[in-house]
Structure 1
Amino acid sequence: MTNSSTSSATHSPTNSNASESNRKGSLAAFKGLFPFLRPYRRQFLMAGIALVVAAGATLAIPAAFKQMIDLGFGASAGAKSIRHVDATFLALFGVASLLAVATAARFFTVSWLGERVTADIRSAVYKHVVDQSPEFFETTQTGEVLSRITTDTTLIQAVVGTSISMALRNVLLFVGGLVMLFVTSVKLSSIILALLVAVIVPIVLFGRRVRKLSRDSQDRIADASAMAGEILNAMPTVQAFTHEKIESARFGRSVEGAFSTAMRRIRARALLTMLAIVLVFGTIVFVLWLGAHAVLEGTMTGGDLGQFILYASIVAGSIGALSEVMGEAQRAAGATERLLELLSVQSSIQNPAKPLALPARTGPGAALALNDVTFSYPSRPETAALGHLTLSIAPGETVAVVGPSGAGKTTLFQLFLRFYDPQSGTITLDGVDIKRLDLHTLREAIGIVPQDTVIFSADAMENIRYGRADATDAEVIAAARMAAAHEFIERLPQGYKSFLGERGVRLSGGQRQRIAIARALLKNPPLLLLDEATSALDAESERLVQSALEAAMVGRTTVIIAHRLATVQRADRIIVMEDGKIVETGTHASLVALGGIYANLAALQFHNIHIAHEAA
């Protein structure tokens, strides 16, 4: 249903956002996470305190070593040197203990934050996706959405639960170590700072390339996941057409493409890490060489040089760790962009700001009316699925809609449920424009048995109870009896507690259809929509379900779509559609007498039935 124009329209904002985010840098992408982080300010404060304490303890260690070298082993060391050494090592043990407690507290707090924020993001994304209109799913693959909810959120978890903490820790160590370097030796520190600025510029520039490759890698993984989801959901078709090798090869090519992109990212990250380590440590080694000469010349003490070496190591280690964290952040930034793009998509079907209530129903069923409705699917804007359609259905009336494929029959149902809005005209339920009704109010008033029955991975009881979540077991069983489903459910190994398999693979087509009918009957709505409700049934099951449906139609308005004309002969009125327009209206007898489209359909169908009976 997707054409190029629609796809372009749908994805152009995404591409625009990606380009803008690439210009702003990775930190801009993470701004969208602030609403998810804000509720946990207290935990972030606790983690921050633990982080500062741990960093302070780490920065205290080189100062202790300076005291130990100068006072314990230096030229001025004497009788008190042993006491100085003992006190120094005792202080070191105290600092190490404080460091251990603070590090453990930081690890626990940030890990909790990573898990909590990730769970919140997954829930938010899923809730947002299930609120989207069918138009969204015309242009978005389910596998891609699942990839964003799972793989992308896992990357964000790593950033929130580890990388942010590591980044802040190493920033503190870098700043603190740099300050202590200047305290130790202004000359050497000035030289090392100037050189570090010179080497960081190429590291940052190269990091941008890593970020772009990280996003490309995530996109390729999403493509592979989408392909796998599509094929796994169609395995009977794949196997029936013996396409196992073809699909395996196609998926293999997709996986190899993702692997190639990932390898480009890994090579870039490896080069980035190597570049950072060589340049930074080369700078530090050069400065330490100058410091060694200063000690030999007597302008520095051995303790000062030892302290300077340790602080330089801390600064160098923090820079190396920051480059590693930056690589993870670049990768997670791409994942964050993809999730925020998903969260920014707005459904074309929105609840009204001030929804109206349906009037109190006094008679049987609901009144339904279409007034000059014109509609085109978003993926086919140049083709009208319905054109200037006007139709009124009285409360309690049973109306059958027939016509060739593509006439617009199923489109009617999608508009009744407000999966789409018409480009012009209005649809009213009990006299109220459905655009002015809350979506839940509208859809709670409608029961539907779709042509493609959906069975969930649950037992029979829960599948039928999907029609009304608060229904009792007795009500579920009563609905199953009405839909002629009770007997075959009772024969299942665990009866109503029998697991029906993913997508109902343990049931026949007719059994799945009767489960769907029972679900709609349990809902007990004033408006019932039947889309080929008996199309998958054999003659005996059709007879049972037909009688059940006739009983269910009493007291409610019913609209039936059917290609099998035998199921609509007893309707109060038959609507014949062609090319999105109503071309004939009447009863079965009057339409046959008219000799138009319906008469031709009826003659062809009943002739085929007669031939089948003679052949039997």
Structure 2
Amino acid sequence: MTDTPDDTTRPSPQPASGKPAKKSLSVLLQLWQFVTPYRKTSIAACIALILTAGVSLSIGQGVRLLIDEGFVAQSSQALQQAVVFIVGLSLLMAIGTFTRFYLVSWLGERVSADLRKAVFNHIVTLHPSYFESNRSGEIMSRLTTDTTLLQTIIGSSFSMALRSSLTLIGALILLLITNLKLSLIVLSCVPLVLLPILIYGRRVRKLAKKSQDSIADVGSYAGEIIQHIKTVQSYTRESHERQAFGKEVEAAFEVAKQRVRQRALLIAAVILMVFGAITGMLWVGGNDMLAGRMSGGELGAFVFYAIMMAMSVATISEVYGELQRAAGATERLIGLLNVESLIPPGGELGAPSDTVALNPTEDTQPVAMSENTGHSLLSFNDVSFHYPSRPEQAALHQLNLMIAEGQSLALVGPSGAGKSTLFELLQRFYDPQSGTITLQGNDIRALDPHSLRQQLAVVPQQPALFTADVWYNIRYGKPEASDDEVIAAARAAHAHDFIEALPEGYNSHLGEQGTRLSGGQKQRLAIARAILKDPKILLLDEATSALDAESEFHVQQALETLMKNRTTLIIAHRLATILHADTIVVMDQGQIVAQGKHHELLTRSPLYRRLADLQFQEPERSVS
């Protein structure tokens, strides 16, 4: 058997979008907003940094005293004093290094944590269409890999860069003071040292960003396969996925190899230039010492400062590559933070301060009731909508629908008719391109989304359960609920018995996405969650589709009790579950084609009658 990878190769994902970031190290300045809350720690770290750099440079003077006053002068007392001086400086440098390392590392961890929280807090407010074009695995990579990289940069590399810069400047000044001629020899080599940093640094930065993107692709691919592992194994695609994942890993490795090669060339070039200059300086300085133009101590101190300067330049060149990687990671994170939600509070009708809440107080005046809404609670007025990912195809077209308070309304029709889209728009996951949706007479685009969604409870066709215990999952819509309230909601959803049968009862953890439960059990937990929230409007999307016949009977009774005196919208493919709805709306191709009771639609709607014929053996039977 031969492999045919070409027909199953996945298209490359589009990178998460955001405002374009600056293409230089200046993008790192945007991290300053996360550092400023910790000014005292930053100042203390800088003081320790300056102290350490100053003490390091002072050791050179100890070396000069050691040679001139101790060795050359043959003075035991001067030798002892020079040694004590150097030991004292070493102790101060150890204390300063400890303080600097602790404060800078703490700052790096703190900024990384704050940045991670800021990105996550922004992500949870983004519109759902953003996640249609950006993979969750890539976003998770930004939250973890990129922020961890920045923590390393801020907590280590950035500190090393500052320390080396201070040491470089101080060593250069002391070189000039010690011997001007030798200093000019060293300075003449500086342009040669900076040249590879500028040339290779730019290449390293581009490859660093590309490397981070490739790592994100690897994580995203692995996450998707693990999430759908049953499907992979069911279709016996393990071998193919191993090969495909191997290609992703090798692609990431190739990018990383190029980045490492460029960094290695950068470091090697800098070291060659720097120590070549030192060698030339030693030759000239050695001749001057032999000719009596400078002392051995001065030459020793000069060599010490030159080595410190060389080490500083080498460190800066190495850290420069890390800073380039940090710039790439910062671009990705800042780009994510700059993504603007298409559903901001207040939407198209005003800024967040202009929003109104449901059930307004005397101080908050709602938008005036439209004349065509009457006493309806919900109203869709000439609503047209296209999903951002499918702009050429209308999901809804000039739809008009009124729903009275306390009414149960069922939506039926073939797949793609627009039923679920109504739920999406009502929850304001999207805004329609034209037309209005009103709730209590308020255009929902003028409502605070948080206040709007607090009035709703959704029981989806595929319930979302979290990796936590039963208490947490049922309480998700009402965190302050007592244990008794949770148990009462579970009983109403006919979930209490199977929950008690779990190994730890309500304390049992459900696994990722509730994998330890059956489909029917997941559905009943979702229903219990909605019952506990006690919403004004209930949205049921095939809420009983995953239940067996007996469970469906009990849950249907619970739902009927829950639906009394409550506005309920039901999406149903099984007509038997909505025969007693106050109104049944038949949809097709984004429009309402019929509306009425079950027995009325059997005679008035060919589409509804065809759906009934497919599901009932006696379609002509009407229900009173």
Task: Pick the TM interval, shorter chain.
Answer: over 0.9
Q: Distance in 2 between matches of 1:554 and 1:313?
A: 84
Of the three residues 56, 76, 79, the one matched with 1:58 is 56
Distance 1:162 1:609, change over 3 A: farther
SS of alignment partner, residue 415 of structure 2: coil
1:12 deviates by 6.4
Q: Partners of 1:534 and 1:425 in 2: how far apart?
A: 32
Determine whether 1:221 maps to 2:221. Answer: no
8 Å CA contact retained: 1:366, 1:557:
no
Secondary structure at the counterpart of residue 367 of structure 1: strand
Instruction: Measure, in 1, the Cα distance between the counterparts of 2:423 and 2:148.
Output: 39
Give the Cα separation in 2 of the matches to 1:608 and 1:230. 45
Task: Write out the 4+ residue segments of structure 1 that deviate beyond 6 Å after TM superposition.
Answer: none
Correspondence list, 1:304-315, <5 A: 304-315=298-309
Query: Percent identity, aligned pairs only?
Result: 52
In structure 1, the residue matched to 2:198 is 204
Rounded to whole Å, the distance in 2 between the matches of 1:70 and 1:489 is: 85
Match of 2:256 in 1: 262
Residue of structure 1 aligned with 2:532, choices 515, 522, 531: 522
> Are 1:371 and 1:389, in contact at CA under 8 Å, matched by a contact in 2?
yes
2:592 alignment counterpart: 582
CA distance in structure 2 between the aligned counterparts of 1:206 and 1:509, rounded to whole angstroms: 56
Deviations 1:27-63 (Å, cap 9, x if unpaired)?
x120110110111111111011111111111101111
The residue number in structure 2 matching 1:94 is 88
**2:4 equivalent in structure 1:** none
Alpha-carbon distance in structure 2 between the residues aligned to 1:430 and 1:232: 45
Does the 8 Å contact 1:368/1:394 carry over to 2?
yes
Give the counterpart letter for 1:416 in structure 2: L
Counterpart residue number, 2:391: 381
Q: Cα deviation per residue 1:235-273 (whole Å; 9 max; x = unaligned)?
A: 111111111111121111101100111111111111111
Structure with the higher fraction of residues in helix conformation: 1
Quote the offset at 1:203 in angstroms. Answer: 2.3
How many residues are aligned here?
589
For residues 20-59 of structure 1, what are the structure 2 equivalents within 5 Å? 21-22=22-23, 25-26=24-25, 28-59=26-57
Aligned partners of 1:50 and 1:105 also within 8 Å: yes
Aligned residues of 1:196 and 1:283 also touching (Cα < 8 A): no
**Is contact 2:112–2:150 with CA below 8 Å preserved after alignment?**
yes
Structure 2 counterparts to residues 386-401 of structure 1, below 5 A: 386-401=396-411
Q: How does 1:11-160 map to 2 (within 5 A)?
A: 16-17=20-21, 21-22=22-23, 25-26=24-25, 28-74=26-72, 77=73, 81-160=75-154
Change (3 A) 1:304 1:420: same
Contact 2:460 2:542 in 1 (8 A): yes
Letter in 2 for 1:47: A
Q: Contact between 1:485 and 1:514, CA under 8 Å: does it hold in 2?
A: yes
Stretches of structure 1 that go unaligned for 5 or more consecutive residues are: 1-6, 611-616
Equivalent of residue 560 in structure 1, options 549, 562, 570: 570
Q: Shift of residue 300 of structure 1?
A: 1.2
Would you say 1:446 and 2:456 are equivalent positions?
Answer: yes
Which of 522, 539, 553 does residue 512 from structure 1 map onto? 522
Q: Tell me how far 1:73 sits from its aligned partner.
A: 2.4
Residue correspondence of structure 1 range 70-469 to structure 2 within 5 A: 70-74=68-72, 77=73, 81-352=75-346, 353=352, 354-359=354-359, 367-469=377-479
- Sort the Cα spacing of 1:480 and 1:536 in 2 relative to 1 into closer, same or farther, 3 A: same
Q: Is the 8 A contact 2:192 2:273 kept in 1?
A: no
Question: Which digits, 9 at most, give the CA deviation of each residue in 1:154-182, with x for residues without a partner?
Answer: 11001110111111110111000000000
Q: CA deviation at 1:607?
A: 3.6
Give 1:359 shift.
3.2
After TM superposition, the structure 1 stretch with the greater mean CA deviation from structure 2, 143-152 or 458-467, is: 458-467
Q: Is the 8 A contact 2:395 2:589 kept in 1?
A: yes
- 2:79 and 2:292 map into 1 onto residues whose CA distance is 24
Match of 1:603 in 2: 613
- Closer/same/farther in 2, CA of residues 582 and 464 from structure 1, 3 Å limit: same
CA displacement at 1:11 relative to structure 2: 5.6
Give secondary structure in 2 for the equivalent of 1:401: strand
CA distance in 1: counterparts of 2:139 and 2:113, whole angstroms? 16
Letter in 1 for 2:308: I
Q: For 2:275 and 2:198, locate their aligned partners in 1 and report how far apart those are by CA, in whole Å.
A: 17
Measured against aligned partners, the alpha-carbon deviations of 1:215-251 in whole angstroms (never above 9, x if no partner) come to 1110000011111111111111111111111112111
Q: Distance in 2 between matches of 1:418 and 1:594?
A: 33
Asked if 2 retains the 8 angstrom alpha-carbon contact of 1:366 and 1:396, the reply is no
The alignment's C-alpha RMSD in Å is: 1.7
Q: Would you say the 8 A contact 2:16–2:336 is kept in 1? A: no
**Contact 1:370-1:391 within 8 A present in 2 as well:** yes
Which amino acid letter does the alignment assign opposite residue 600 of structure 1?
A: R
Answering whether residue 482 of structure 2 is matched by residue 488 of structure 1, we say no
Q: Distance in 1 between matches of 2:392 and 2:107?
A: 50
Select between 239-248 and 110-119 the one with higher mean Cα deviation.
239-248
TM-score (norm 2): 0.92
